[in-house]
Structure 1
């Protein structure tokens, strides 16, 4: 078998796998434009007989999805910005700063990666309640300010920065904050992009914690609101698909635009770590 035939077979297989993976998303988009009850027919139609935007109008005008999307945007943006600052600073400290018990402390923190997040939700809720952060943006944002995964990812990448470069800056009289801002951060740019995308996607799609800490409907995020909407309109598949589209498309578009930086950061971190 020559190289051209094998290339055609491989590319054909990849196209088939991609089509299989994308079909549910495309069908979800198609159903969102169908008339009420049309998707419940058997066999279910692939394309709408008469496309309509009525489901999207009802979603925003009557269900108030615009408010929930705004809540998700505020929460995801704040978590991404603040957690980047905390994770970058902590990861750099564990990688390049020498202090007593550094390695022992880092190894003990790694244990947090083995503990399911659900185990800590009840005590975390009690802490948020004592801080009067329940039913507020702060109740969702504060627990996500630093993650062991983000600290670990930054630390592994920061270890590749030459120590001589940092020592030279110290000899020239630069303080630690200036070294971090002007020397280290530009070198961490690939991993910053990776961590920013990962954090935004995970915080936007988070369901369990916002469901626990945000009991007031006015503060709910889009995934929680969509789950509540599905209970009220359990038979309205077209409306549910429209809600799924408006919840999924923003993060999907963000990932597609920045996927090159995301993959590059992961690969560089794995090679240099």
Structure 2
């Protein structure tokens, strides 16, 4: 069964569905509303019902076609349906290509917080086609660039410096295969050493502690995931600089590159109430 969202479905997943049917592959398709607000138990139960109606067995495959929300929701459903069925990721956003589709984390949100109910469940294969990015709006392209910047900061200074030089989407796309491969390779290396996040894997959460809090506070509507972790990376680097844990020039470099790509760098003002 293909699982997609209302943005990606009409552009890619429905075409894949038709092609599979033409090849006499018994296939279903389930579409969730696009956006982080769909990563909840209500949508999960609806997806389980679709699995039941279609007759998904352990020998079948759930294929996530979309961004991080689709991959997380479909992956968690696949990991728990009949105690685990086949799972494949076809990421359609830059963020999903470089981060969320890799590493085996799948989850849904609760009102109390993000990704509180989840699992470690690796897809059998991840199919990444950078050409899918051609239809991705700028807002979500640069949402993914925030994660690429994170990888440069935690593991690859050359990647970070390349992003400082490239400046815009067009120049990034000229190097996109190299960028995606490098990010996936960094994450692969970390996950192979610490799959269940007991130590080293926590480095992948740079900027995410505050970022997830920002997402929740604003109801997953005001900021995308990449925008929220952008603010988180600036905040934690400035705190680290004050405590003497990083180069005094680093917070400003982080702030500068985020602004360069139109990403937020300042902690949002909130009502004290």
Question: TM-score scaled by structure 2?
Answer: 0.22
Question: TM-score scaled by structure 1?
Answer: 0.22
Q: Greater helix percent: which structure?
A: 1
Greater relative contact order (CA < 8 Å, ≥ 6 in sequence)? 1
Q: Greater strand percent: which structure?
A: 2
